[in-house]
Amino acid sequence: MDCKIRTVLAIAALAFTFGMQPPAHAQDSNAKTLETGTFHGKVHTTSGRATIYQEKDGRLILRLTNFKTSNGPDVHVILIAAADADDDANFLKSNTERVELGKLKGNEGDQNYAIPSGTDLSKFQTVSIYCERFNANFGAAPLEKF
């Protein structure tokens, strides 16, 4: 009986200890800043900053800050294998390699996008706000080492 109580207590103590541990996330406080750049855009005025962070577990995240562009249909965030993008409407007619990061979450404000693991950042050097439907580059941010 006494043994049983002790076991229960031990389990409770263990559960308490693990339950009290800070979430692993808290240790990621100092994510590394890898690259940064500012947007320029002609087709639609686009401004703000794009920064790539690396979390402690290695995941890459693109963060847009002070960001502003035009709203539009089917707008995506992509990384392109180019040093920069022209402020040209039809810049992706050629077969520019790209990495899709997802639909633009909002045309204004701070936002994060996960970058697929294994993306070669030395190759994909520019962020583009890209309107899929009209093959239009709303704005581009060439990234440079932070």
Q: What burial letters (b/e) apply to 60-87, b meaning 16+ CB within 10 Å?
A: bbbbbeebbbbebeebbbbbbebeebee
Shorter beta-carbon distance to other proteins: residue 7 or 66: 66
Binding letters toward other proteins, positions 10-39, x by CB under 8 A: ---------------xx-xxxx-x--x-x-
Q: What tokens were used for 77? A: 């965030």
Task: Tell me how far, at minimum, the Cβ of 127 lies from other proteins, in Å.
Answer: 16
Q: ∠68-73-77 over CA atoms, to 5°? A: 55
Binding site for other proteins (CB under 8 A): 25-26, 28-31, 33, 36, 38, 49, 51, 53, 55, 61, 63, 65-66, 70-73, 105-112, 133, 144-146
